[in-house]
Amino acid sequence: MKIALVGYGKMGKIIDEIATKRGHEVVARLKETPTAENLNNPDVVIEFSLPEVAYNNIKSCLENQIPVISGTTGWLEKKEEIEKIAVENNTAFLYGSNFSLGVNLFFALNEKLADLMKNVDEYSCQLEEIHHVHKLDAPSGTAISIAEGIFKHNPKFNAWKLEETQGDQLGIFAVREDEVPGTHSVFYRSEVDEIEIKHTAFNRNGFALGAVVAAEWIKDKKGNFTMKDVLGL
């Protein structure tokens, strides 16, 4: 495949390396706004940029009828608009708050646990995410996805908030520490014990590989997708 990378920071460089090893050709490495000219006619765009430019980056690619895989977090208030643009331009869009296989299995486990705990009033729920000090948004997109998985199964909660859980608002502690790639935990605490599920990333390679696998999967598809579609979860 011909792949254009929009956003060429740490993640972009790792994606470049993995895509090349898997036999793909990287035809553009952009730090600027993508256009029909500088994208160089790719089969798919992988977009890992910044929250403030993600919407315009993705919109430009979709309007040029190029499928987009996006892993940029912190802009999701405009995600519905992007999904409409993908449909209107007869192309495909896939957003992932986290492309790691392990994290997507963790999402499924989180939903199962939330369903088990929904009628057990003795336990309160709290989330925690830890990332490197360079991460610009808080909480992480992955933590928001975890919270949304809990909302889907547990009617006690209908929104998230930073810091501690209060009433129907599920709390998320967002910690920024050293060069941590990403650690996410869900706690259910009672007066007598605690249940915890946790995912710890050792490096960014798992995120990058998942993004390339998603790009391979989305070729020739139309519509809006998630990693659940890619992995058959």
Which residue numbers belong to the known binding site for NAD(+)? 71-73, 96-99
**Looking at 131, 161, 198, 199, which residue is catalytic?**
131
Active site residue 184: no
Burial (0-12, 13-18, 19+ Cβ within 10 Å), 156: middle
The candidate with the shortest Cα–Cα distance to 187, out of 202, 175, 211, 171, is 171
- DSSP character for 77? G
Q: Are 45 and 2 in contact (CB under 8 A)?
A: no
Q: Is 163 helix (H, G, I), strand (E, B) or coil?
A: coil
Q: Which one-letter amino acid corresponds to residue 7? A: G
**Looking at 24, 59, 135, 199, which residue is catalytic?**
135
**Tokens representing residue 58 in the block:** 């993705």
Active site residue 135: yes
Q: Which residues are annotated as a binding site for NADP(+)?
A: 31
Q: Which residues are annotated as a binding site for (S)-2,3,4,5-tetrahydrodipicolinate?
A: 132, 141-142
Which residue has tokens 């050792």? 202
Positions annotated as catalytic residues are: 131, 135
